[in-house]
Structure 1
Amino acid sequence: MSILDKVNTPADVKNLTISELNELATEVRATVLHKVSNVGGHVGPNLGVTELTIALHKVFNSPVDKFIWDVSHQTYPHKILTGRKAGFTDGHFHDITPYTSQHESEHDFFTVGHTSTSVANALGFAKARDLKGNKENIIAVIGDGSISGGLAMEALNNAGDFDSNLIIIFNDNQMSIAENHGGLYRNLAELRETKGAAANNFFKTFGLDYKYLEEGNDIEALIHLFEEVKDINHPIVLHIHTEKGHGYAPAIENKENFHWRGAFDLETGALKAAPSTKSYISVMLDYLDKKMAEGLPLVAINAAIPGIFGLKQFASKYPERYIDAGIAEQFTITFGGAMAAYGARPIIFHNSTFLQRAYDQLWHDVAINEEPAIIIVKGGVISGSDKTHQGSSAMTWISNIPNLKYLAPTSEEELLSMLDWALAQHEEPVVIQMPEHGVESRLSVLTDYSEPSYQMEKVGEKVAILALGGLYSHGEKIVSELSKSGIEATLVNPLFVNDLDQTFLSALTENHEVIVTIEDGILDGGFGQKVASFLGKYDVKVLNFGAKREFNDSVPASELYERYHLTPELMVADILQLLK
């Protein structure tokens, strides 16, 4: 029987010797690798904290003592030790969530998939503990670049004024998702080089006590450190130097690509599914090369996720024109908007699920000041991701910000046309929703996007289909299916997410009974509802297709499409029923 077979609760960890704990680390690491190599997931972060997690459960008493994880992409070892190891076995990979969940285990306290929250959450727990007269340890675990996020800074600042038990573990693996960026990391490097003895100390600046541990993958050293600070009566930072990807050579050699990785061959680390040769990312990179050659004062900006956009390739060619701000979405928007206001041409790249962190900056800084920044949004789709990484709300909340143009191309040609126009104009910020359903080729007629101008792709009658952005191909399929029922429907490419072509819509009501909208996002407050609101004064029926306003937790996209009637067959059935 293996050591892991004997461990079903954290209490079982406490009975193990150091030798057994080291064997347990090897088995936990193998268990993590079995799962992520089969279905994908966070690799390096989990492997790097295996020993740290075991030591935490050896010394502290979870769930009485509270472990509060940042992002929670480093919690697979924690899940394995807290009764969820079955979720790492064949046939059960999706029985547990990829992040912490208080609904899944008494050892978890938050559903968290975004960054820099742990210290604020832990400080809130610690204050509540003291108000209730309890005595348990409150422990935040933060790393992978999260320390540079604004919320983490705010929390550390407030922790400096706290006067009770709070243990902050800074897991320093010298990486964010990609490499670290920012002046903070020079001080962290100095602290590592001096084994925590440098006169300059970022953490002490906040008034926090501080200890450094170089051997962050040494269980015995970790246990000694944790025993030393257990039940401490004031806030302390434990700066622990770990190795991201520890114990698995491919993850150590290529830390960025193994931060999160799709299913891969365990022996070689190679992805099981070959990436597509052409994508909108490659289209975008070729376009950036062209504009750089033209001498445009162009700058590419992103917040710690260059791999999602292929921006490492751009950075290698034009290092002075690439800015990775670290995990600081808010900064990228205000900073990039100011650059645009003063004559540069920044293109700011964001994943939709992270861009929401910069809502105020989009509204208050970029939109109010009408700064002509260009923001590329990826991942704004109905998807099967977990509830903390839903992109389907992007079109709803972005499209309701004033003074902002929001465009949804359906093809390579339209994307390039929109970029040309956006870079040439200086009147307003422009958000472009990157299509997500494969590269399509469709001639772009429009070259000026200053006013909404819907494109009539097929003239018909009775039914008009307005298919927005990446789901335009759905519109084509519906038109084809309706023709089988003797209905030659009109097909429209709206192109504009937040601005209505009112003249065009009014004309549609003259010879159509039903106007259908399709969007790759939440209906409430979205494109379809805007169309329906405008058409309320006309004698026409409006049918909106999109997602419900709800959190979905790893529900397959195919199942969501069925639920929302977004398959061509279900949409056609609904249209025919409405016509009756």
Structure 2
Amino acid sequence: MTASDTPLLDRVAGPADLRPMSDRDLRQLADELRSETIHAVSRTGGHLGAGLGVVELTVALHAVFDTPRDKLIWDVSHQSYPHKILTGRRDRMGTLRQRAGLSGFTKRSESPYDPFGAAHASTSISAALGFATGRELGAADVGDAIAVIGDGALTGGMAYEALNHAGHLGTRLIVVLNDNEMSIAPPVGAMSSYLSRLYAGAPFQDFKAAAKEAVGYLPTPFQEGARRAKEMLKGMTFGGTLFEELGFSYVGPIDGHDMDSLLSVLRTVKSRATGPILIHAITKKGKGFSPAESAVDGGHATSKFDVTTGAQAKAASNAPSYTKVFAQSLIGEAERDDRIVAITAAMPDGTGLNLFAERFPARCFDVGIAEQHGVTFCAGLAASGMKPFCAIYSTFLQRGYDQVVHDVALQNLPVRFAIDRAGLVGADGATHAGSFDVAYLSNLPNFVVMAAADEAELRHMVATAAAHGSGPIAFRFPRGEGVGVEMPERGTPIEIGRGRMIHEGERVAILSFGARLPEVEAAREKLIARGISPSVADARFAKPLDRDLILRLARDHEALITIEEGAVGGFGSHVAQLLAEEGVFDTGLRYRSMVLPDSFLDQGAPGEMYAEAGLTAADIERKVLETLDLGVMRARA
């Protein structure tokens, strides 16, 4: 029998098993944990680089603190795979990001070691402060609260709101700044430069940390003088740190891969901290796996890969991705209009704007993980006469909703919102599913809201947005590849509020909004085989609605069914409102609206998620039969 490659990790059923280990064993355990993480992700795909960067930190935190009583909160939490392995989920890592499997993020319902769920950035300090305050108010079974936040997430304004509040309260709170100089994309902004200067000043910071520790051991009469000397030296050298000015004790920078340093600092903090303290750890994303270390994004996200070479197993593409079509279309528009600018919030690659930045570097802006600022920045650009395209994922745009309302819609400014990841997105699950943007934008005055049914329509919608200058306009498109339609060389602006007929039929009309149109087409083929020939239309617009098209469909058919990749309150609700106001229901029209269910759907393959949501071709066929009271036909089939 071959000896295990992970003898120490094999003995770990939970974090309590780490605490009797020697420091030497903990160092070996970290090496084994890194290897286990690499092998686990190689089988499933997922977020790799972030987890590899915090292996030593994960081991040290669980070894020093009494989790789950002490609340360990990971910001974003895509770096939590090593944490999952140490907290009793090692045997389930093969189900990572799969249907009924482990989430790719922390999740309260999954484990008591996940006290707070996450997947979006900059929330950890606020949540940890909530736990710490609950502890002070007598909450049961709450010890220390530790937030681990990356330097990328620290660009989000919410993190500063929490730091400011924590400093004001003065409650014991531990924040670990995991500084790898990388979120998903290279860092941007003054904070990144500031952290780099702190790192460059490491010798002084080490001296300062040692001096701070030594002050506590001086006789009382000498302590005040020592503190004054320290403050004088600090002021002469750096003028203080931002974190100390916010009320935090600052320790670091320290080497986040040096287990001895981590254990020493964490043990000291655990035994002596009285108020909020920030530990600044320097780490390397993708640490210990050369293909990830050398990747531009630090091996942020991968498909399944070969452990030896790092080569990823990716299926051959049959059609361009929607994201690439958007980027190429926008580049084409920008070549003809020098007022077009592009804005992203720390997702240049994910939104395709890395391609735009290569062509127009002076006209592309990455604002960091700061969607609120990004939206209002776009509003200012629009007010100045520029044509901003604000490219943000559907779920990330939720973070800037007040700015969408107050700074864009209210002032009727022509900001163009390119909403990627619309609909269900697969392995990232509910936190990244674009379920709500149609509803939360279509209820705003002045907005135009479009959805692309295929990649050619997306190209036309980019052109439409570029040409539209009378107010805000949004267009949404899904993750993944297009459907393989013939692509126009150049987009042509669509008449605002005008849909298109795809098939003329009889009895029932199916009005599709967005990327479910191929499923509608597949359902129609099955229905034709049953002797039913539905009319099919592509709405294109949720606002303004194509009133003439909708009312004609209602007038000429017994039944009208709408379908969309969005929650209730979106396109179908607006169609129902129109039909009600026009008195159409008074004449007996059978109307149904197919939307996403009123629940958060866990991760799975996109097809599995849409089947669970009831939005597949088979579901559409069934809905048509039921609406026409032809369920018996289905039963006999």
* Rounded Cα–Cα distance in structure 2 between residues aligned with 1:337 and 1:110: 34
Q: CA deviation at 1:264?
A: 1.9
Is the 1:467–1:474 Cα contact (8 Å) retained in structure 2? no
1:63 to 2:68 alignment: yes
Q: Which moved more, 1:307-316 or 1:508-517?
A: 307-316
Partner of 2:264: 224
**Identical columns (%):** 37
The whole-number CA distance in structure 1 between the counterparts of 2:496 and 2:361 is 36
Once the two structures are superposed, residues 531-572 of structure 1 have per-residue CA deviations (whole angstroms, 9 ceiling, x without a partner) of 223224322111222211211121443333333432223322
Question: Contact between 2:254 and 2:261, CA under 8 Å: does it hold in 1?
Answer: no
Superimposed CA distance per residue, residues 176-200 of structure 1 (whole angstroms, 9 cap, x where no aligned partner)? 2110001111110000000164445
In structure 1, the partner of 2:8 is 3
1:304 is displaced (CA, Å) by 0.6
**Aligned partners of 2:285 and 2:476: how far apart in 1?**
33
- What is the DSSP-based 3-state SS (H/G/I as helix, E as strand, rest coil) of the residue aligned with 1:521? coil
What pairs up with 1:19-34 in 2 under 5 angstroms? 19-34=24-39
Report which stretch shifted further, 232-241 or 306-315.
306-315
Q: 1:17 matched to which residue of 2?
A: 22
What is the CA–CA distance in structure 2 between the aligned matches of 1:21 and 1:504, rounded to whole Å?
68
Question: Which digits, 9 at most, give the CA deviation of each residue in 1:440-465, with x for residues without a partner?
Answer: 43689996656412212222221111
Paired amino acid for 2:155: S
1:39 touches 1:262 (CA, 8 Å); kept in 2?
Answer: yes
Flag structure 2 segments of 5+ consecutive residues without an equivalent: 206-237, 630-637
**1:83 has 2:125 as partner:** no
Say yes or no: does 1:142 pair with 2:162.
Answer: no
Picking from 111, 119, 133, the partner of 1:113 is 119
Structure 1: where are the runs of 5+ without partners?
none
Give the match for residue 544 of structure 2: 499
**Does the CA-based 8 Å contact 1:165-1:234 persist in structure 2?**
yes
Distance in 1 separating the partners of 2:379 and 2:16? 53
The question of 1:201 aligning with 2:241 is answered yes
1:172 to 1:38, Cα distance in 2 relative to 1, 3 A: same
List per-residue Cα deviations over 1:112-152 (Å, max 9, x = no partner).
Answer: 11110111111111111111188832211111501110110
Match of 2:389 in 1: 347
In 2, distance between residues paired with 1:423 and 1:346? Answer: 9
Farther-moved stretch of structure 1 (387-396 vs 175-184): 387-396
Instruction: Read off the aligned partner of 1:228 and give its amino acid letter.
Output: T
Matching of residue 51 in structure 1 with residue 56 in structure 2: yes
Q: How far off is 1:9 after superposition?
A: 1.6
Task: State whether structure 2 residue 199 is matched by structure 1 residue 154.
Answer: no
Is the 2:465–2:474 contact (alpha carbons within 8 Å) kept by the matching residues of 1?
no
Name the amino acid aligned to 1:203: F
CA contact (8 A) 1:141 1:170 kept: yes
Larger radius of gyration: 2
Find the partner of 1:441 among 481, 485, 490. Answer: 485
* CA distance 1:210–1:275, shift in 2 (3 Å): farther
Counterpart of 2:441 in structure 1 is 398
1:337 Cα shift?
1.7
Q: Which residue of 1 aligns with 2:349?
A: 307
Identify if the C-alpha distance between structure 1 residues 233 and 200 changes in structure 2 by more than 3 Å, giving closer, same or farther. closer
Decide which of 301, 313, 322 is 1:272's aligned counterpart. 313
Contact 1:187 1:201 survives alignment (8 Å): no
SS at match of 1:323: strand
> What is the rounded CA distance, in whole Å, between the counterparts of 1:91 and 1:286 in structure 2?
33
For residues 26 and 595 of structure 2, what CA distance do their matches in structure 1 show?
50
Name the CA distance, whole Å, in 1 between partners of 2:67 and 2:278: 20
Equivalent positions of 1:315-326 (< 5 A) are 315-326=357-368
SS across alignment from 2:562: strand
Report the alpha carbon displacement of residue 156 of structure 1 after superposing the two structures with TM: 0.7
| Counterpart position of 2:217 | none
Distance 1:373 1:249, change over 3 A: same
| Aligned Cα root-mean-square deviation (Å) | 2.3
Any conservation in 2 of the 1:380–1:395 contact (CA below 8 Å)? Answer: no
The residue aligned with 2:555 is 510
Measure how far apart 1:435 and its partner are: 4.3
2:110 to 97, 104, 111: 104
Number of residue pairs matched by the alignment:
579
The answer on whether the counterparts of 1:410 and 1:435 sit within 8 Å (CA) in structure 2 is: no
TM-score by length of 2: 0.86
Question: Which residue in 2 is equivalent to 1:215?
Answer: 255
1:130 has 2:132 as partner: no
Q: Which residue of 1 aligns with 2:618?
A: 569
- Write the mapping of 1:428-467 to structure 2, written as runs, cut at 5 A: 428-436=471-479, 438-441=482-485, 449=494, 451-467=496-512
What amino acid sits opposite 1:264 in the alignment? F
